[in-house]
Amino acid sequence: MDKKIVLLVEDNPDDEELTRIAFEECHLANELVVVRDGQEALDYLFVTGKYADREMNDLPQVVLLDLKLPKVDGLEVLQRIRSDERTKQLPVVILTSSRHEQDLIDSYSLGASSYIQKPVDYLQFVEAVRQLGLYWLVLNQTSPALKR
């Protein structure tokens, strides 16, 4: 796990672009892998479908997971991540525009590492990404179970 990959699970192209710009502005050099729906996220993480030739040991450093996704919603993706021995300790940050308290409760109940509401303001969004990158990609120590 030499390279620190960030898996962004986001179906909104505008939010994807904002995240890319924020990463650049914050000088986060990590590889940003983008998948556009919950099924594609599961395929990437569990090395199935179009990602069947990917290395299972090459897990992302952190998953940035939207909740409102096509095919498989974010809460189900989170539940599947937490129920698999290979990924259960993977940091998953919910990054969503949802303002529903139940989404917050459900996310933490299913084992989210953090829950961030996407700020509407661009500068606030960049600052949120900067802080997220500093914590999850620089300061946070990854579980040894994920480094196999």
pTM of the model: 0.86
- Counting residues of the chain whose pLDDT is more than 90, the rounded percentage is 52
For 49, left (φ over 0), alpha (ψ -120 to 50), or beta? left
Nearest to 12 by CA among 34, 27, 30: 34
Which CATH number does the domain housing residue 57 bear? 3.40.50.2300
d(CA 126, CA 104): 22
Instruction: Report pLDDT digits (tens) over 13-49.
Output: 988 988 888 888 877 777 899 999 999 999 999 999 9
Question: Above 70 in pLDDT, residue 137?
Answer: no
pLDDT for 40-76, tens place per residue?
A: 999 999 999 999 999 888 899 889 999 999 999 999 9
For residue 42, count other CB atoms closer than 10 A to its CB. 22
Position 145 scores a pLDDT of 57
Total count of domains within the chain: 1
Q: Is residue 102 part of a domain?
A: yes
* Residue 112 within a domain: yes
- If you ran DSSP here, which 8-state letter would residue 60 be given? -
Structural domain including 118 reads 5-141
pLDDT value of position 127: 77
